[in-house]
Amino acid sequence: MSNYTPRVAIITGGAQGLGRSIALQLAKDGVDVAVNDLASKQELLSEVVREIQGIGRRGIAIPADVTSEDEVKGMIKRVADEMGSVDIMIANAGIARLSLLIETSVEELESVLAVNVRGVFLCYKHAAIQMIEEGHGGRIIGASSLAGKEGFTNAMSYCASKFAVRGITQTAAKELKASHITVNCYAPGFIRTPMTTIGPGTAEENLQSIKEKYESPQAEVGEPQSVASVVSFLCKPEAHFITGQSFNICGTTRVD
């Protein structure tokens, strides 16, 4: 039997959007939280840490680039040393680039795969090594997408990367079962975050324009808390029998 207890979580890409909501939800659940993002997001990161501390939990900011194996290893070691353990890894950091297949450059494809696939792989790998060493089981959760279940116009690189997250998740779930580590991912549709609302127009105009570029103009739009609530449940001890899954969080945008 696992003696998994959700005490300490790492969340990558946690300065804003889904990562920030997940960090605050886990803090409300009684978990201490290390929040990662790029060094350029230091100010936002510090704000999230202050919010975590305001909830009454320990929070630390860890600037690091998840595409670098050394930086991911350093991040996990620092959390284990300073916070006592690594019980939960949320490999949330991701980027999106929009272009048609025939206009996508190799550089664009590789930049998306670097963050969304290599970054997720490195976070899963080194969190799993740490959790196995600590010997108490754990939770690893990654960011896939509805774009990891079907292709969308203008989103070849992004779709390829999010399909890959599901493959990594399913494999890791089987390999880490004996170590009492569950591995799942979330597959949101359109959620209102900086990723879907930043652009030249108002937030609503930008969201609509992104939906149109994906040829999904009627898609329902959700809020980050819906994703944070699913993650919160998956991190609880009673979710031990759920692994290898990817959860649609998208209203009726896709039902299956």
Ligand X SMILES: NC(=O)c1ccc[n+]([C@@H]2O[C@H](COP(=O)([O-])OP(=O)(O)OC[C@H]3O[C@@H](n4cnc5c(N)ncnc54)[C@H](O)[C@@H]3O)[C@@H](O)[C@H]2O)c1
184 in contact with ligand X (CB under 6 A): no
Looking at 27, 191, 228, 235, which residue binds ligand X (CB under 6 A)?
191
Position among 18, 140, 159, 176 found at the interface with ligand X (CB under 6 A): 18
The catalytically annotated residue of 4, 162, 211, 214 is 162
Whether 158 is catalytic: yes
Selected binder of ligand X within 196, 216, 243, 253 (CB under 6 A)? 196
Q: What is the DSSP string of the chain?
A: -------EEEETT-SSHHHHHHHHHHHHTT-EEEEEE-GGGHHHHHHHHHHHHHHTS-EEEEE--TT-HHHHHHHHHHHHHHHS---EEEE-------B-GGG--HHHHHHHHIIIIIHHHHHHHHHHHHHHHHTS-EEEEEE--GGGTS--TTBHHHHHHHHHHHHHHHHHHHHHGGGTEEEEEEEESEE-SHHHH-SSS-HHHHHHHHHHHTT-TT--EE-HHHHHHHHHHHTSGGGTT--S-EEEESTTSS--
* Radius of gyration over every alpha carbon of the chain, rounded to an integer in angstroms: 17
| From 4, 124, 158, 186, the catalytic residue | 158
Return d(Cα 249, Cα 25) in angstroms, integer: 17
Nearest distance from C-beta of residue 207 to ligand X, angstroms: 9
CB 187 within 8 A of CB 149: yes
Q: To the nearest whole angstrom, how small is the minimum distance from the Cβ of residue 177 to ligand X?
A: 25
Q: Which of 194, 213, 229, 239 binds ligand X (CB under 6 A)?
A: 194
Query: Under the criterion CB under 6 A, does residue 95 sit at the interface with ligand X?
Result: yes
Catalytic residue check, 174: no
What is the spatial distance between Cα 179 and Cα 184, in angstroms, rounded to a whole number? 15
Contact residue for ligand X among 72, 86, 89, 93 (CB under 6 A): 93
Site map for ligand X, 32-71, x if CB under 6 A? ----xxx--x-----------------------xxx----
Instruction: With contacts defined by CB under 6 A, name the span among 15-23, 27-35, 52-60, 125-133 that binds ligand X.
Output: 15-23
Choose between 30 and 203: whose C-beta lies nearer to ligand X: 203
Cβ at position 226, least distance to ligand X in Å: 11
Q: Which is nearer to ligand X, 2 or 226 (CB)?
A: 226
Interface residues toward ligand X, by CB under 6 A: 12-13, 15-19, 36-38, 41, 65-67, 92-96, 115, 119, 143, 145, 188, 190-191, 193-196
Q: Which residues carry out catalysis?
A: 158, 162
